[in-house]
């Protein structure tokens, strides 16, 4: 198994964005979901990311957002991918077009329907009733591993990942990439850059 890609999600401060970009993760995620403590707007994200190295993929996270607003936000913020983290339909995906990732929660969604989405990758996250993501709730690694084996698209693992468990998660699930948010924070919305660095190192030097 090759080295998994690493995405640092829920970046919502300019100083964090700059410091994390210097560590060269494969991707960074920005949450466009107003109820979230990590919510951002397109203008500030555009200003933060304008000088990012080109190899860092910039991802916008949306929850049940109208496709027209997803498209306008992607353009204004200068993002590469739309990550849909709610109850979006196949029709929504087709209207948005471009590069799309779809988040799945196996405890509330049927895996048999998941591959029908016209998307480029899946992200499997832990489910929590209080929030659609970023809660630190672990996904069921056994079920995700089965899905990874069966999927014809890249699968990212999210949910409850931390410096002290990501190596085991990679070994067990064998995902295309790993996604972390709350697991590398000092507090909701404020990243611990030391933890971010250690997380990336654990993934790449295990």
In whole angstroms, give the CA distance from residue 26 to residue 159.
18
Q: Which residues contact 51 (CB under 8 A, 6 or more apart)?
A: 21
Contact 64, 102 (CB under 8 A): no
CA 60 to CA 101: how far, in whole Å? Answer: 10
Strand partners, 46: none
Query: Among 115, 114, 80, which Cα is nearest to 100's?
Result: 80
Cα torsion angle, 109, 113, 117, 123, sign: positive
* Residue-level length of the chain: 206
- The catalytic residues are 9, 125
Q: Is 59 helix (H, G, I), strand (E, B) or coil?
A: strand
170 burial level (CB within 10 Å; 0-12, 13-18, 19+): buried
The gap from C-alpha 91 to its chain's centroid, in whole angstroms, comes to 22
d(CA 189, CA 181): 9
């Amino acid at each position: 198994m090759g080295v998994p890609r690493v995405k640092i999600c829920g970046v919502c401060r300019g100083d964090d964005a700059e410091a994390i970009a210097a560590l060269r993760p494969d991707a960074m995620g920005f949450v466009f979901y107003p109820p979230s403590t990590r919510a951002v707007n397109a203008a500030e994200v555009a200003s933060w990311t304008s000088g990012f190295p080109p190899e860092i993929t910039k991802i916008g996270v949306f929850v049940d957002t109208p496709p027209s607003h997803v498209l306008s936000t992607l353009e204004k913020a200068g993002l590469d991918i739309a990550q849909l983290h709610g109850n979006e339909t196949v029709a929504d995906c087709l209207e948005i077009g471009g590069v799309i990732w779809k988040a799945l929660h196996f405890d509330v969604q049927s895996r048999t329907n998941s591959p029908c989405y016209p998307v480029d990758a899946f992200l499997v996250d832990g489910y929590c009733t209080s929030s659609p993501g970023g809660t630190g709730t672990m996904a069921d690694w056994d079920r995700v591993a089965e899905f990874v084996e069966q999927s014809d698209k890249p699968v990212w693992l999210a949910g409850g990942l931390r410096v002290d468990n990501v190596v085991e998660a990679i070994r067990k699930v064998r995902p295309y990439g790993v996604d972390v948010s709350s697991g590398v924070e000092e507090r909701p919305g404020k990243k611990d850059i030391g933890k971010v660095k250690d997380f990336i190192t654990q993934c790449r030097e295990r």
